[in-house]
Amino acid sequence: MGCEDRLERALALSAPSGCEKPSVRYTKYCLAIVLLLIFSGDARADTATLSQTLNLTIGAISKVSVPASLSLTATGSIFNAYTRTLTVSFRARSTAAGSGGTITVLATTNFTPANGPNVSSATLTYTCSAATLGTACSGTQTVSLSSSTSVLTIPASACTGGGSPCSSADPNTVNVNLSLPNDPTYKTGTYSASLTFTISST
């Protein structure tokens, strides 16, 4: 007896008296629909999409660097001034609403040992040149132990590197051309002083 015959016989035995025997084909069709719904439910996948907003505030910032040491030298005629060009490197970003920024210099220690050059005597001077961003100081400046003096002025909406609207150079630089008189009253020996450069931007 085949599978279909056994199913038909079972349906006939279970049917109430006077009722028509259920159709085997109909039963198979219903069974197929039930299985299809079950399989369709198993295959269904849920997808959820979320959005995240990122906020970032970029402000003014700046950084300056100079060589760890620099030696002044006198060349040419006797008693020519001791000179040397110091290259100040910097990176800066200033805001459109701010006043820009500055680089200044201050002598934090005088020349030591004694009996040599003296910053307090207004002997150490400098000029500024070749700024790749901003405006270099104008005229001759005198290094002080008590107050900072200008090296560079940075405009508003300025930035280092990458080309327009920023500078093409990275880092930016400005030259500080130092000069110290070769006074014959100085005692022979090696002398040193400390200069501190400060950069700010708004």
CATH architecture of the domain 61-201 equals: Sandwich (2.60)
Q: Which helix (H) or strand (E) is 177 found in, with range?
A: strand 172-180
Residue 39 main-chain phi, psi, to 5 deg: -65, -40
pLDDT in tens, 109-141: 999 999 999 999 999 999 999 999 999 999 999
Q: What is the pLDDT of residue 40?
A: 56
Give the angle subtended at the CA of 29 by the CAs of 24 and 35, to the nearest 5°. Answer: 125
Q: What is the pLDDT of residue 27?
A: 47
Predicted TM-score (pTM) of this structure: 0.75
User: What tokens does 25 get?
Assistant: 């084909």
Contact by Cβ (8 Å): 177, 183: no
pLDDT in tens, 85-115: 999 999 999 999 999 999 999 999 999 999 9
CA 125 to chain centre: 34
β-bridge pairing 192-201 and 101-112: antiparallel
Contacting residues for 126 by C-beta, under 8 A, at least 6 apart = 105, 140, 141, 143, 176, 177, 178, 179
Domains of the chain: which residue ranges? Answer: 3-43, 61-201
Beta bridge partners of 56: none
